[in-house]
Structure 1
């Protein structure tokens, strides 16, 4: 029996449900998964709790425990859901190859790793450090993104591809940051961690080490090693990185402009 497609909706969650319903109709082999992941849920938070549990859990008991943890976090802190929506909107605005929000939710592992890490960060702030570290380990093994649970990450963050991203203890990252695969951000021998400003673009393989500050709307070129602070609006490239351009009006994370002067 053929089912009609639902009408187009305007809110983000309604759009996701619309897309999932269409997939269930067009590809019946995926219908059960669309219901389990999306259509059985009333909101993004419970859907994310399910997706995180499936990605990180082992047996059914593990998945149930992780689902409860995530559900509790989203219920107790509605800001987590608001941030998840901003994170989801980021690739829609910045990645021209992204077909829609359902694709981000189901197939962008950088997005899912980020949301799971936000749950781990909440546990860390509550003093549940062992549980937070366990989640970090599972995220790293399952999604190949390692973010220490102490890390503070602003809203609207876009982790593209995700594989090999490693962010160490104490790092602080601002809003609207974009990073590609293989990015490493961590402390030095004194364990002093970097601070990343708002709207920064970290290209593939960029490495930022030590107590440096990356200014708002800066750009770190692919494969660069940064051990010095980078002023706002500037581009740093090379090993070791050097400044090659400063543009006060630059917005590299928003337009994903990886070109170098």
Structure 2
């Protein structure tokens, strides 16, 4: 991560500056921007307030939910680090993203991932029904379905994000990029470890489907529209239905390059 994102204090100053500039340019957003930043001391707390607004309803108030989310942030120190890493990933990999605050405010992939991260902490902290509530509201709000029991490392980008499904026993390591419509699913109704394991540096192209307890090796690329049923070796590109290896690409990190084509 660049220094401005790695340093939490520098980052919140940058975000505050960007927010004030936006409020000046677009007065209609000024009240919303001021509300999000009021008393916020970190990017994680800004995100918590935004998520509380998005995921509350007439029965679970914004204030109640915000208190819960900030409480999780206070006890799970890694969440702030992961949030900054995810923010950095979007800023570096998405040419449509130009400022940190714009990503926080507008990127539903980033927002859905942060909602998952808090629901994951609730799940593993024994508050499973509240985790399921967060999961269900996030599904409805962001059109992204990430089971709160799954494990996702830092520096992950959900680009566009609509239609992404990640199952209960899926594991995603750090530095992975997923395009819209990606499914990491099972193959039936059996219980146990039944979902994919995705190593670091992987790119999963738009509409890619990976089924079963298979492994996608480090720095592999799954081309858009492919269906993966078997393990994918590291540093390889697979494409087709069912997916087949079409090339090797040593010393490249597809998650950073963001090229979904099998010929890349």
SS of the residue aligned with 2:61? Answer: helix
The answer to whether the 8 Å contact 1:150/1:170 transfers is yes
Q: Distance in 2 between matches of 1:11 and 1:245?
A: 42
Unaligned runs of 5+ in 1: 1-9
Task: State the match for 2:240 in structure 1.
Answer: 238
Structure 2-normalised TM-score?
0.92
Task: State the match for 1:130 in structure 2.
Answer: 129
The answer to whether the 8 Å contact 1:92/1:101 transfers is yes
SS of the residue aligned with 1:208? Answer: strand
Offset of 1:257 from its aligned partner? 2.0
Task: State the match for 2:141 in structure 1.
Answer: 142
Q: Distance in 2 between matches of 1:61 and 1:247?
A: 49
Offset of 1:246 from its aligned partner? 1.3
Q: Deviations over 1:60-100 (max 9, x none)?
A: 85212221111011111121011000000101111122111
How many pairs were matched up?
Answer: 252
| Structure 1 segments (4+ residues) deviating >3 Å | none
Offset of 1:57 from its aligned partner? 0.8
Task: State the match for 1:81 in structure 2.
Answer: 80
Offset of 1:39 from its aligned partner? 4.8
Q: Distance in 1 between matches of 2:150 and 2:183?
A: 13
The reply on whether 1:12 has 2:11 as its aligned counterpart is yes
Offset of 1:210 from its aligned partner? 0.4
The reply on whether 1:33 has 2:32 as its aligned counterpart is yes
Offset of 1:250 from its aligned partner? 1.9
Q: Over the residues paired in the alignment, what is the CA RMSD in angstroms?
A: 1.4
The answer to whether the 8 Å contact 2:153/2:175 transfers is yes
Q: Deviations over 1:159-193 (max 9, x none)?
A: 01111111111100000000111000012223411
Task: State the match for 1:63 in structure 2.
Answer: 62
Unaligned runs of 5+ in 2: 1-8
Task: State the match for 2:42 in structure 1.
Answer: 43
Q: Distance in 2 between matches of 1:119 and 1:193?
A: 21
Q: Distance in 2 between matches of 1:68 and 1:74?
A: 10
